[in-house]
Chains A and B, each alone.
Chain A
Amino acid sequence: MIKRDVAGVKTPVWGKVREGEVPRIIFDQVAKSYGAVEVLPPFDLALDDNEFTVLVGPSGCGKSTTLRMLAGLETLSGGEIYFDDKPVSKLEPKDRDLAMVFQDYALYPHMTIAKNMSFALRLARASKSEIEEKVKRVAETLNISQLLDRKPAELSGGQRQRVAMGRALVRDASTFLFDEPLSNLDAKLRGKMRAELAEMRDTIDKNMVYVTHDQVEAMTLGDRIVVMSDGLIQQQGTPEELFNAPVNKFVAGFIGSPSMNFIEGELIVEGDVTSVQGAGFKLPLDAETSARMKTVQTRNVEIGLRPSSFTTDLTSAAPIELKVVVSEYLGAQSVLVTRCGGADVLVETQSAAPIKAGTVQTFGVLTDEIRIFDKASGLRL
């Protein structure tokens, strides 16, 4: 999937990770299996230093396992993880200079919030004044100063989440790990915390590795996103790259909301123009895509169209006939569930007048936004 990039690894330097240095994190042929069950076949992954990397994928894709191996909470079944040129897979979590936020917050139930936050500093024998100062500063930025004397059981879910975040931030770790930190919050709170995290991302120059199943979190937070599925890294790149140039159907369907529509069709080459023909449409492709399609062997394809790629303005767009099944009027826009052949197709329109369900409508398609996928392999052509 990705280029193997462990060129910097020549003479491994053993020993614990030096504090303060923000390392590049390199997974070299890392694999994980539980007994006979292989959950992660060997993979490579390189995370640039000071980057906010999001591992995203549906549950069971191996993203959390990857993070836990990085943290040292799971052993590796093969391969090695390097921090710059230091192999770390044999190091205890504490020697990797990490801080982590857990999905269930993992607060120490018997300690007050202040003690929870300062636990690592106290273990490291930091001075009392230093501990106090750091806890106070982080508590203020997270708005939890008034909670410092309480126990975790006395807090609401959102407050606990903040404390978990605070406990990680108090430490000057070089790498911060987040394991679905927002998934236990209600939608409103999640949106708020997401915005705060995005703000934090810009102020902290450290490695951040964030695991989530929510593509919205991935898109809004990640400098770089690694999309995983079934234990395999499907694609990695910036949010824009993933959105505009997905390598396969999985990534295309996973990134973006509402998700991309897939409609079966057949490639037809007529002179210089290639088009895709299917039930109720014949869409000409733009010049660049047309040229590329000429070299393609297969004729059976699926076109990927985002709901936003449709328009009601037919003057400059290719027409497609869709039967409207459900019309969801949301004020500024409508989301239509339509049917094309056997497939459901979501269409976003800006049209002022509500569109009636049950009618057959002709929409325009912005042909330069069409993505073509091989029907058999799911790869983008």
Chain B
Amino acid sequence: MQTANVNRLTPYLFLAPAALIMAIALLYPIGYMIYASFLDWNPSQRIGEAEFVGLRNYINLLSDAAFLESFRVTISFAAIVVSIEMFVGVGLALLLDRNIRGMSLLRTLFILPMMIAPIVVGLMWRYMYHPTVGIFNRTLKSLGLEPVPWLSDGSWAFASVVIADVWQWTPFIFILSLAALQSLPQSAMEASRIDGATGWQQIIYIKLPLMMPVLIVTLLLRLIDAFKVLEVILVLTNGGPGLSTEILSLRISRTASEFRELGEAAAMSNFLLILLMVLTFGMFFYNKAVEMRAARLRAAAEED
């Protein structure tokens, strides 16, 4: 009896170290952040000295014009960059999914931007966007065109950060799409050729639908990342001019360091976290439901 109990506990014993590390490394910071979001806390205080204010930080956020603007910028930034990246990345993958000499070298070149540290990407693009010595304006000038205020005009600055982000992250979608393409069932592709599908029809009716599960996960990963983007924009524009490129991460970092409102910064972070969790869980449950339905029907079919 005694031994049986001990035996049953063994797996938990082995799991314990991992669970402990998880708790410390993951749950503690998140719990800390959630707790902090209910406090009126400034960096000079210890956390115990901060005043508990309930939901006040959250309510304040909803009427804070700067936060709402930053929220809007973040949403439109994420929506725009992820749309462009998906379109270009998947398109490139469809184009390059073939066996031509030198294709593997080309593929490696394509994913280089992803390997560069975001700070470096920011610096690189800042020099390229430089109003007088940057390559873009020099090129425009040599063509006899007006220079463009890449980083000093609100709309142009937004476009500039979008371009830099697209440059860096399209390869991510490209390699995942390419992997998805190459693992598609070859015989289904052949069947569609026999059934009379042209190249475009194959893409629209067979390839894209079959890639969809991978594309959805890719989209989600990129969306989560795009919502948290910081370094490139920090280096390129630092949120300016005005609030035109001030995404949430920047706003959070400024609220914490410049405005010394740790509680409010924590509330903003939670806001972002909740948003991303809703996205993720939605996805997760949708997948689960689809899988379970398929399994149930298959079980029924096997019984027939």
**Measuring CB to CB, which residues of chain A are less than 8 angstroms from any residue of chain B?**
71-73, 92-94, 98-100, 102-111, 119-120, 123-124, 147, 150-151, 153-156, 159, 167, 171
Q: Is there contact, CB below 8 Å, between A106 and B190?
A: yes
Given the known inter-chain contacts A106-B185, A123-B201, please indicate yes or no for A94 contacting B196, CB distance below 8 A. Answer: yes
Q: How far is the CA of A210 from the CA of B129 in the complex (A)?
A: 65
- What's the least CB distance linking A20 to chain B, in Å? 15
Given the known inter-chain contacts A106-B185, A155-B298, please indicate yes or no for A100 contacting B194, CB distance below 8 A. Answer: yes
Q: Is there contact, CB below 8 Å, between B298 and A119?
A: no
Chain A facing B: main interface SS: loop
Q: Does B15 contact A (CB under 8 A)?
A: no
Q: Is there contact, CB below 8 Å, between B304 and A120?
A: no
Ordered by A's residue number, 7 sampled pairs between the chains whose C-beta atoms are within 8 Å are A94-B194, A107-B188, A109-B210, A119-B192, A150-B297, A159-B304, A167-B195
Say which residue of B188, B197, B209, B302 sits within 8 Å of A123 (CB atoms). Answer: B197
**Which residues of B have CB within 8 Å of A107?**
188, 191
Q: Is there contact, CB below 8 Å, between A150 and B301?
A: yes
Q: How far is the CA of A176 from the CA of B297 in the complex (A)?
A: 31
**Which residues of A have CB within 8 Å of B193?**
72-73, 92-94
**Which residues of B have CB within 8 Å of A155?**
298, 301
Q: How far is the CA of A150 from the CA of B295 in the complex (A)?
A: 12
**Measuring CB to CB, which residues of chain B are less than 8 angstroms from any residue of chain A?**
185, 187-188, 190-198, 201, 205-206, 209-210, 212, 294, 297-298, 300-302, 304
Q: Is there contact, CB below 8 Å, between B195 and A119?
A: yes
Q: Is there contact, CB below 8 Å, between A156 and B302?
A: yes
Q: How far is the CA of A190 from the CA of B37 in the complex (A)?
A: 67
Q: Is there contact, CB below 8 Å, between A102 and B190?
A: yes
Say which residue of A102, A167, A171 sits within 8 Å of B187 (CB atoms). Answer: A102
Say which residue of B196, B212, B297, B301 sits within 8 Å of A120 (CB atoms). Answer: B196
Q: Is there contact, CB below 8 Å, between A154 and B209?
A: no
**Which residues of B have CB within 8 Å of A123?**
195-197, 201, 205
Q: Is there contact, CB below 8 Å, between B294 and A156?
A: no
**Which residues of A have CB within 8 Å of B188?**
106-109
Interface centre among A73, A106, A120, A159 (most CB of B within 10 A): A106
Q: How far is the CA of A107 from the CA of B212 in the complex (A)?
A: 17
Given the known inter-chain contacts A123-B201, A155-B298, please indicate yes or no for A93 contacting B194, CB distance below 8 A. Answer: yes
**Which residues of B have CB within 8 Å of A109?**
185, 188, 210
Q: How far is the CA of A171 from the CA of B191 in the complex (A)?
A: 13
**Which residues of A have CB within 8 Å of B205?**
108, 119, 123
- What's the least CB distance linking B189 to chain A, in Å? 8
Q: Is there contact, CB below 8 Å, between B195 and A94?
A: yes
CB-based nearest A residue for B187: A106
Say which residue of A106, A156, A159 sits within 8 Å of B191 (CB atoms). Answer: A106
- What's the least CB distance linking B114 to chain A, in Å? 29
Q: Is there contact, CB below 8 Å, between A99 and B194?
A: yes
Q: Is there contact, CB below 8 Å, between A153 and B201?
A: no
**Which residues of A have CB within 8 Å of B195?**
94, 119-120, 123, 167, 171
Q: Is there contact, CB below 8 Å, between A102 and B301?
A: no
Q: How far is the CA of A102 from the CA of B152 in the complex (A)?
A: 61
Q: How far is the CA of A104 from the CA of B294 in the complex (A)?
A: 20
Q: Is there contact, CB below 8 Å, between A153 and B294?
A: yes
Q: How far is the CA of A124 from the CA of B192 in the complex (A)?
A: 12
Given A72-B194, A119-B192, A167-B191, 4 further pairs, Cβ under 8 A: A93-B193, A104-B187, A106-B191, A108-B192
Q: How far is the CA of A159 from the CA of B187 in the complex (A)?
A: 18
